[in-house]
Amino acid sequence: MKDMRGYSDEKVIFYKKNMYNQTMSGAYMAEKPISEILTEAIKNGFNEKNISVNGSNDYILKSELQKLDYEAISGFSTVQLIPEITVKFQLVDKDGKVVWTDLITGKANTKGAKFEKFLPPAIDNLIQQLVNNQDFLNNVITE
């Protein structure tokens, strides 16, 4: 997976925003590059769905992280965070021909402002959309 967000540090989840939704200098950081975290999540999703990742080399799944951001909606006593992860996927055959492509956005509605709690549901949503995409499955699963 390539991180196409243009950040110099691939461990940046996103930069902090003020109450006017303007980007500030501080950033939320992950322990390892975001592309690695998402790649591991994709592999785990494939294993759960019994999609072989090491079996045949007929296809290569290319992916580009396009966007990782959030929207904060403040209520009277709570904050609802809606993380959004957008990834461009391409399934390429052994001849280099693109057989499937899609832009998938994972979202999750969460309450509270703890980022370690709201990012995993958005990643799960992204992976679920990928492994349940019928066009994708038609190309990778052979009976």
Measured between alpha carbons, how far is 85 from 91 in angstroms, rounded to an integer?
19
Q: Count the Cβ atoms, other than its own, within 10 Å of residue 5.
A: 17
Q: Which residues of 39-60 are buried (b: 16+ CB within 10 A; e: fewer)?
A: eebbeebbeeeebeeeeeeeee
Enter the pTM of the model: 0.85
Per-residue pLDDT of the chain (143 residues; tens, 9 = 90+): 999 998 889 999 888 877 777 888 888 888 999 999 999 999 999 888 888 766 566 788 999 999 998 877 777 777 777 889 999 999 998 888 999 999 999 998 776 656 667 788 899 999 999 999 999 988 886 54
Note the pLDDT of residue 40.
Answer: 94
Amino acid identity at 48: E
Question: Tokens 């785990």 label which residue?
Answer: 44
